[in-house]
Amino acid sequence: MPAFLFWLFAGVMLVFGALVVINRNPIASALSLVVCFLGLAALFISLDAFFIGIIQVLVYAGAVMVLFLFIIMLLDLRAEERRRMNWVAFTGGFVVAFSLLVQILAVISRTQMAKQAFPPLASQQVDDVRNIGLLLFGNYNLPFQIIAVVILVATVGVIVLSKRQLR
């Protein structure tokens, strides 16, 4: 893909990722996160990983964030907008984030693989949906099933917790 597209979408992701934290309005934060996810999906698609990119939009931007918005709208979060910035927390967060960035840069600069451009995940001709399916249900069938059971347990747990009175 043209490099400028990478910089464009990476820039979009970073700006809107920062806006998630900076915005005082929770709805604005949630919507910034949606745009951030769209940028991430665009990056996946530019690596020819269509399936992962589209699933990113479908699951995170289309379903999870809609539920987030739904919950945020039901709560009254006016107090959040009026809150002053806590400078101690701001400095602490900045130090942690900055040291993490330095750490990642240090690791990347030492590994050999990070110095070359990453090859596209799949060429145009490869059917990545089929490949992911074969991998998930072939090589990683047991972990996949275990994750499915864990998610099922979580779902049942949520329903049990949200039911006020149990019979």
CB of 101 to another protein, least distance (A): 31
Contact 65, 37 (CB under 8 A): yes
* 62 scored as a contact of another protein (CB under 8 A): yes
CB of 24 to another protein, least distance (A): 13
- What one-letter code names the amino acid at 27? I
Indicate the burial class of 16 (C-beta count within 10 angstroms; 0-12, 13-18, 19 or more): buried
* 121 scored as a contact of another protein (CB under 8 A): no
Q: What is the dihedral of CA 55, 60, 61, 65, to 10 degrees?
A: 160
Q: Which of 7-15, 68-76, 88-96, 138-146 is the region at the interface with another protein (rule: CB under 8 A)?
A: 68-76
- In order, the DSSP letters of 27-79 are HHHHHHHHHHHHHHHHHHHHTT-HHHHHHIIIIIIIIIHHHHHHHHHHS--HH
* 51 scored as a contact of another protein (CB under 8 A): yes
* 63 scored as a contact of another protein (CB under 8 A): yes
CB of 163 to another protein, least distance (A): 15
**At which residue do the structure tokens 């996949």 appear?**
144
Q: Which of 13-21, 54-62, 98-106, 138-146 is the region at the interface with another protein (rule: CB under 8 A)?
A: 54-62
Contacts with another protein, residue ranges (CB under 8 A) = 27, 31, 34, 50-51, 54-55, 57-58, 61-63, 66-67, 69-70, 73-74, 127-129
